[in-house]
Amino acid sequence: MPLIKMQTSVKCSDEQKRFLVLELSKVCSHCTKKPENYVQAIIEDDAVIAFAGKIANSAFLEVRGIGGLTPAVNKELSAAISKLLEDELKISASEVYVNFTEVPASNWGCNGSTFG
């Protein structure tokens, strides 16, 4: 916890995926003030995504966490994610959706147990 997962229509090289997954992890850790050793980041590329009725370079991200996702944090995360994707994948911020979900600690498992 937290988890940041991205699906994008952009086909990324292995090098790009490695770079982006580590950058998303850092951004998530920084913005949520959670230690990076608790962050899991996932990238799924080359997805077919329709946005605004057309096929375009786009991305959908999910950010889930146990505490730490507030309206202010979510705005900061959204801005940082959008900038990263615009800089690295040339995806316009207007074609990026980010969904934030707070999860009860008892509904998040790790290491054979849960956090609550």
* pLDDT at residue 8, rounded to an integer: 97
The CATH architecture annotation of domain 3-105 reads 2-Layer Sandwich (3.30)
* pLDDT at residue 1, rounded to an integer: 82
Domains in the chain: boundaries:
3-105
Q: Which two tokens stand for residue 85?
A: 């994707």
* pLDDT at residue 116, rounded to an integer: 86
* pLDDT at residue 56, rounded to an integer: 86
* pLDDT at residue 28, rounded to an integer: 97
* pLDDT at residue 37, rounded to an integer: 94
* pLDDT at residue 48, rounded to an integer: 96
Residues of the chain below pLDDT 50: none
